[in-house]
Structure formats: structure tokens, C-alpha cells
């Protein structure tokens, strides 16, 4: 059975701590539903763009957004198809998560991995290869030097290696591992086995993401770790290959620590970005504790709360600074809502009123 070998280093511990702290803020931020939808849409766009760009797709982020919005772009059919396919993969991940739910009772299956590959390569690979394990040897070459940088296991071993990995994913041991660490292990092992003739990188990241989600670690689907990998693709591939090319007698003796340090650092950086963005537009997370529930605020209400957190008080004359395009009556309605929710209080009369955080 597959048993990953790695060491929990100080670097891994530090970044897991950053991940947990960021997750706590994101999961408890009292965001308005419209903002949640916006964040998720942006995360999907980033995941699809960077996830395909990492594999050589030349389309820009704007072109990817246009394709996802149903607009036509001038590009190769294959490049456009890769974008559509990866969107379908993310939809499939959502459907699986909804169907199975987030619990320790789930069973990940080989069929799920094959379906992810089929969706990834639809209309790109032939029906003999799409959604099926490779039946021939492949090698990974340096595109500039044409030198072989990594030789994956023989095709005959692929079904058994994947079965071992899936059994490990569903094992009691794996269920005890932190979801981000587990996702990094899964990503590495699929990339190492290279079970398909094409699309291995996208499948490895998609499966890692799905298992993280099934382990109750979807973090509101606000993040995309593909963006971190795509910022320096050479480091991404070299880190993977450095582990895979370790000279060991048994493949299970490979030390995954360098890869896991890199992977978890990437997740920490991306989640920290999201946390900072959430904090900029969200009410102080302590509001939820005070009121016993999340308070859903619109953009104007968030802007008012941000102003009060920064400047401590607000008067009617400040309305024009924050909302030059809205009438005083509109802003006063927002103030009334915040006052009714117990978030702010009013001092003084109407014309010379001062508003402060409660």
C-alpha cells in the first residue's frame, strides 16, 4: 500500500498555521451573499486561467473571462476547448462535493479520477485516451533542450499504483492528516505516476482540490492555488521533478518534504491574499460574536463600517466623501439599518449627528 514519506518541518508547521489563521478569518467574515458570489466567480476564473496557462495555454486572463461569459474570442480551438473543459471539471467537483457531502465517511474512487480526466481532455484527446489510463510509456522532456527530465513508471504499473493511492486516500491514516498536507501528497503522487498521456497536471490539481473540499476544507471556494504555481512555473516543475528523480531503491522511499514545503507555502500565500481582501471589505469579525450571527451587509454598509473603523466617527458632512453619487437620504437609510443591527450608535441631533461604532 502507498505510504508517503515526509517530515513535518518547522516551515510546514509555520505555513499550516498561516493557512489555519487565514481560513478562520475567511470562514467567519460576515460577507454579503453578492460578495461571496463575486469572490467565487473570481476564484474560478483564476483557477481556470492559471491552471491551463501553467500547462502551456496562451490565452490571457481577459480572454478566459470572455470565454466563460459565453463570448467569442479569436484563438485556437484547442486553447478555447481547454478553458471550457476545465470549467466543466470545476462544476463536476462541485457536484461530487454536493452529492457526497463533507464528512469523513466519503470514499474517493478511481472512476471519479477517470471522469475528471475525461472532462479535462474532452474533444482534445481521442476516445481511446480520454478518461483512460495510458497504455504506453511516456517521458517528460525539457522543451528547450529536448532532454528527458523525468521518466514516469511503466504503463503496466499505472492501474496498480493509482489503486494504491486511492486506497490510501480512503484510509484511516490519511483521514488523520491535515487536508492541505493530504492535498499536496495527492498532487505529487498523481504527477509522479503520470497515469495519462496528457492532462496529468490539471487532473492532479483537480483531484487534490476535490479531496480537500471533501475534507471540509473548501474555504468558501475563494482561493486558487494554481495562481501561485503559475507565477513561477519553472520552480513548480523543478520541485516536483527533484523529488521524483531522487535515487532510491523503492519509489515509496522518496522524501516528499521539499515538495510539501513548497506546496503548503503556496496555499498559505494564496489564502493570506484572500484573507486580506476579505478584511478590507468586511466588517470586524467580532461582530459575529457580539450578535450571535453573521450580519449580511451591502457594499454601502461595508464602506460605512470601514470608514468608522478607520476614523472612529462619522458626520453627515462625511457622506459626500464616501458616497458622492448617492443622496443623503440613501446614506441615512444605510445608517438606520446599521443602527437597528446594533453595529453603530448615533450621538446628538439629526443635523449635527455623530455616528460611532457601538
Q: Per-residue pLDDT averaged across 241-245, rounded?
A: 89
Confidence check: pLDDT of 103 > 60: no
pLDDT at 284: 53
Confirm whether 252 is a catalytic residue. Answer: no
The residue ranking higher by pLDDT, 162 or 35, is: 162
CATH number for the segment(s) 10-281: 1.10.3290.10
The number of beta carbons lying within 10 Å of the beta carbon of residue 253 is 10
pLDDT at 176: 94
Q: Per-residue pLDDT averaged across 220-242, rounded?
A: 91
Report the chain's mean pLDDT, rounded to a whole number: 89
Look at the block and give the residue holding cell 490539481. Answer: 205
pLDDT at 100: 81
Give the model confidence (pLDDT) of 246-267 as tens digits: 888 777 789 999 999 999 999 9
Confidence check: pLDDT of 321 > 90: no
Q: Which sign, positive or negative, has the C-alpha torsion 333, 26, 218, 216?
A: negative
Bridge partners for 357 per DSSP: 344
CATH topology of domain 286-357: Arc Repressor Mutant, subunit A (1.10.10)
Least confident of 1-5, 120-124, 306-310: 306-310
Give the model confidence (pLDDT) of 108-135 as tens digits: 999 999 999 999 999 999 999 999 999 9
Least confident of 135-139, 216-220, 275-279: 275-279
Distance CA(240)–CA(168), nearest Å, equals: 20
Characterise 221 by phi-psi region: left (phi > 0), alpha (psi -120 to 50), beta (else). Answer: left
Least confident of 43-57, 111-125, 146-160, 241-255: 241-255
Cell of 220: 468558501
Confidence check: pLDDT of 223 > 90: no
Is 199 one of the annotated binding-site residues?
A: yes
Residue 117 in contact with residue 193, Cβ under 8 Å?
A: no
Q: Per-residue pLDDT averaged across 223-228, rounded?
A: 90
Is 205 one of the annotated binding-site residues?
A: yes
Q: Per-residue pLDDT averaged across 344-348, rounded?
A: 89
Confidence check: pLDDT of 157 > 90: yes
Q: Regarding beta strands 354-357 and 344-347, do their DSSP bridges make them parallel or antiparallel, or are they unpaired?
A: antiparallel
pLDDT at 190: 97
pLDDT at 281: 62
pLDDT at 349: 78
Domain boundaries, the chain: 10-281, 286-357
Active-site entry in 49, 50, 53, 194: 194
Q: For residues 165-200, b (16+ Cβ closer than 10 Å) or e, as one string?
A: bbebbeeeebeebbbbbbbbbbbbbbbbbbbbbbbb
Q: Which residues contact 305 (CB under 8 A, 6 or more apart)?
A: 283, 284, 297, 338, 343, 344, 357
Is 28 one of the annotated binding-site residues?
A: no
Is 203 one of the annotated binding-site residues?
A: yes
Q: Per-residue pLDDT averaged across 331-352, rounded?
A: 86
Is 77 one of the annotated binding-site residues?
A: no
Is 62 one of the annotated binding-site residues?
A: no
Question: With bands split at pLDDT 50, 70 and 90, how would you rate the model's confidence at 102?
Answer: low
Amino acid at each position: 500500500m502507498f505510504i508517503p514519506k515526509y517530515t513535518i518541518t518547522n516551515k510546514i508547521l509555520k505555513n499550516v498555521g498561516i493557512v489555519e489563521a487565514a481560513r478562520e478569518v475567511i470562514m467567519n467574515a460576515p460577507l454579503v451573499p453578492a460578495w461571496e458570489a463575486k469572490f467565487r466567480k473570481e476564484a474560478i476564473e483564476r483557477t481556470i486561467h492559471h491552471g491551463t496557462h501553467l500547462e502551456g495555454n496562451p490565452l490571457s486572463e481577459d480572454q478566459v473571462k470572455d470565454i466563460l461569459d459565453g463570448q467569442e474570442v479569436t484563438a485556437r480551438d484547442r486553447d478555447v476547448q481547454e478553458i471550457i473543459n476545465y470549467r466543466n471539471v470545476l462544476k463536476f467537483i462541485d457536484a461530487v462535493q454536493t452529492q457526497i457531502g463533507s464528512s469523513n465517511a466519503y470514499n474517493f474512487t478511481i472512476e471519479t479520477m477517470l471522469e475528471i480526466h475525461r472532462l479535462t481532455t474532452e474533444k482534445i484527446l481521442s476516445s481511446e485516451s480520454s478518461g483512460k489510463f495510458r497504455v504506453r510509456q511516456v517521458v517528460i522532456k525539457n522543451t528547450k533542450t529536448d532532454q528527458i527530465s523525468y521518466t514516469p513508471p511503466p504503463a503496466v504499473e499505472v492501474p496498480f499504483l493509482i489503486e494504491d493511492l486511492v486506497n490510501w486516500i480512503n484510509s484511516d491514516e490519511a483521514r488523520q492528516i491535515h487536508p492541505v498536507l493530504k492535498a499536496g501528497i495527492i498532487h505529487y503522487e498523481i504527477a509522479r505516476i503520470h497515469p495519462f498521456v496528457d492532462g496529468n497536471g490539471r487532473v492532479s490539481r483537480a483531484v487534490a482540490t476535490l479531496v480537500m473540499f471533501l475534507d471540509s476544507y473548501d474555504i468558501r471556494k475563494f482561493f486558487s492555488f494554481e495562481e501561485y504555481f503559475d507565477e513561477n512555473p519553472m520552480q513548480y516543475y523543478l520541485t516536483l521533478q527533484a523529488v521524483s528523480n531522487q535515487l532510491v531503491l523503492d519509489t515509496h522511499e522518496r522524501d516528499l518534504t521539499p515538495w510539501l514545503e513548497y506546496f503548503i507555502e503556496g496555499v498559505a500565500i494564496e489564502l493570506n491574499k484572500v484573507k486580506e481582501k476579505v478584511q478590507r471589505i468586511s466588517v470586524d469579525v467580532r461582530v459575529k460574536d457580539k450578535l450571535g450571527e453573521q450580519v449580511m451587509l451591502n457594499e454601502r454598509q461595508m464602506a460605512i463600517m470601514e470608514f468608522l473603523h478607520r476614523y472612529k466617527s462619522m458626520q453627515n458632512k462625511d457622506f459626500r466623501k464616501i458616497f458622492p453619487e448617492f443622496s443623503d437620504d440613501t446614506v441615512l437609510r444605510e445608517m438606520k439599518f446599521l443602527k437597528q443591527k446594533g453595529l453603530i450608535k448615533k450621538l446628538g441631533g439629526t443635523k449635527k449627528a455623530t455616528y460611532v461604532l457601538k
